[in-house]
Amino acid sequence: MHVFDPLALDESSRRKLANDLNTLLLPYFPQATTEALHQQYFHTNIERSRIALLQDDDRLTGFQIVTSSPLTLPAGDFMIIRSVVARASEHSSRGSRAFERFGPTELVRQALRAHASNRRPWLVGQSAGPVTYMRLARYFPTILPPPDPHASASTAQRAIFIDLLRAIDMAPEHPEAWSMRNGPFYPISPDERASWLGRPEPAVHRFFQECPDAGTGQVLLFGVELTLPTLAAILPRQLRHLMRRKPAPA
């Protein structure tokens, strides 16, 4: 696994990197573009960026990016943290422990840097299918929207979340919504939808409650404030997850 700062690359090299990364996104998001990836994860307002690459000889087989962007709102000073991950299916186990450890560890590092600079870090993003939101809900009980389909957020937290979304051009489709349209297209077949809805996890049902048209470009908008107690709970959970994983075949 190769870890580095993509912001240290020149513009031409960053665009080439974005193009290489996009090839891994296309199987999952058929309409993904290099330009969109470049605009979201290599723009000039990013304060810190780290990327982990998985490679098989010279072929890229996986990547993760974690970025931090400062933002000042009437409610105070914030840090927007975003992340994206993709991996070729045929390399789902190779290097998995180090690769899976990178994301949560780097997230904690960047969030602690934000606290040290007196900014409130928020992890903000989109979930085009239920998987991302469901996995994050396991780590973050305070995630917005709440996983319980009947729960709601406080007015103050909702207002901050919406302001953060607007700053990165991800405003919800209407004032009460937790979703937006024209997001990354992630196809969901009727059989797959039925299979998901047969599962017991509340987060799955919350996802489809907020995104009844998921699979056509409607995506869930999620966010979680990375308070110090929230951060303290991440690494033990990740350690337990890794300990439960079966070792990769020799």
Q: What domains sit in the chain, N to C, each tagged with a CATH number?
A: 1-118 (3.40.630.30), 121-243 (no CATH)
The pLDDT, as a whole number, for residue 157 is 92
Contact 35, 22 (CB under 8 A): no
Residue type, 83: S
The pLDDT tens digits for 194-218 are 999 999 999 999 999 999 999 888 9
Mapping DSSP onto H, E and C, the string for 32-98 reads CCHHHHHHHHCCCCCCEEEEEEEEECCEEEEEEEEEEEEEEECCEEEEEEEEEEEECHHHCCCCHHH
Residues of the chain below pLDDT 50? 93, 242-243, 246-250
Which helix (H) or strand (E) segment holds residue 63: the answer is strand 59-73
Please give the pLDDT value at position 249.
36
The pLDDT of residue 248 is 40
CA within 13 Å, CB half, 148? 6
